């Protein structure tokens, strides 16, 4: 399951985060990539400083308190966050994220876009799965949460600069199908608590059908 999450920051906070990010010092991002990914990675990452750490701590606090993120990812561990920057000509070619990193198993990856999409060309996150390829370029302050199992890349930036915060989650529920069922149930239960909705029946029916697919034999 891929999920876009918005509403993480109010407009003023978002502008402050972006301005703080733009003022940081950056270095070659290849150092934090695995051996294979390093060959196709050409971006910058903010180097450690009290300002960077404060910015990332603020983002982390908001993300890890967000109800939809918690429901979709069921995080057990979250990696240290990275503030990445792609300037004109920079890109990250097709790769898969490392399975094991910094003491966690990466089940889910996320990218929180900080730059307004109109402020740069290119820079879409392109995620491949067995059926189709999706290009994701979200608004500033929006986050895409996607399976770390996928091959993905960042298209070359051809104008401006793309700032984003990226991180990885080890989930309490390893299987993505099981996570999606639990996510659906969370939402259905929340709808019921809010008085019901037209979407409720469809979602519960989907959940029942998918539980049967997962657990029943004929």
Closest residue to bound Ni ion by CB:
97
Check binding of 107 to Ni ion (CB under 5 A). no
Stretch that binds Ni ion, among 71-79, 93-101, 114-122, 139-147 (CB under 5 A): 93-101
Q: Would you say 106 and 79 are in contact if contact means Cβ atoms under 8 Å apart?
A: yes
Stretch that binds Ni ion, among 66-74, 97-105, 128-136, 207-215 (CB under 5 A): 97-105
Check binding of 97 to Ni ion (CB under 5 A). yes
Count, residues near Ni ion per rule CB under 5 A: 1
- What is the smallest separation between the CB atom of 95 and Ni ion, expressed in angstroms? 6
Structure tokens at 69: 């993120």
CA-wise closest residue to 83 among 108, 58, 119: 58
Which residue is associated with the tokens 């259905």? 188
Q: How far apart are CA 19 and CA 136, in angstroms?
A: 23
Q: How far apart are CA 168 and CA 103, in angstroms?
A: 11
- What is the smallest separation between the CB atom of 151 and Ni ion, expressed in angstroms? 9
Stretch that binds Ni ion, among 41-49, 57-65, 83-91, 94-102 (CB under 5 A): 94-102
- What is the smallest separation between the CB atom of 150 and Ni ion, expressed in angstroms? 9
Q: Would you say 168 and 80 are in contact if contact means Cβ atoms under 8 Å apart?
A: no
Radius of gyration of the CA atoms of the chain, in A: 18
Check binding of 155 to Ni ion (CB under 5 A). no
Task: List residues binding Ni ion (CB under 5 A).
Answer: 97
């Amino acid at each position: 399951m891929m999920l876009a999450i918005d509403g993480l920051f109010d407009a003023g906070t978002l502008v402050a985060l972006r301005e703080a990010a733009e003022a940081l010092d950056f270095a070659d991002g290849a150092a934090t990539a695995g051996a294979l990914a390093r060959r196709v990675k050409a971006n910058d990452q903010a180097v450690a400083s009290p300002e960077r750490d404060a910015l990332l701590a603020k983002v982390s606090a908001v993300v890890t308190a967000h109800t939809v993120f918690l429901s979709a990812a069921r995080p057990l561990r979250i990696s240290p966050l990275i503030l990445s920057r792609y300037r004109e000509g920079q890109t990250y070619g097709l790769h898969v994220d490392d399975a094991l990193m910094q003491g966690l198993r990466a089940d889910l990856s996320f990218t929180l876009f900080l730059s307004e999409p109109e402020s740069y060309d290119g820079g879409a996150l392109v995620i491949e799965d067995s059926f189709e390829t999706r290009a994701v370029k979200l608004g500033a302050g929006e986050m895409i949460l996607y399976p770390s199992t996928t091959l993905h890349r960042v298209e070359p930036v051809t104008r401006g600069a793309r700032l984003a915060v990226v991180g990885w989650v080890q989930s309490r529920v390893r299987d993505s199908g099981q996570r999606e069922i639990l996510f659906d149930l969370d939402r259905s239960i929340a709808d019921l608590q809010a008085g019901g909705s037209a979407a409720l029946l469809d979602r519960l029916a989907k959940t029942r059908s998918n539980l049967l697919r997962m657990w029943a034999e004929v």
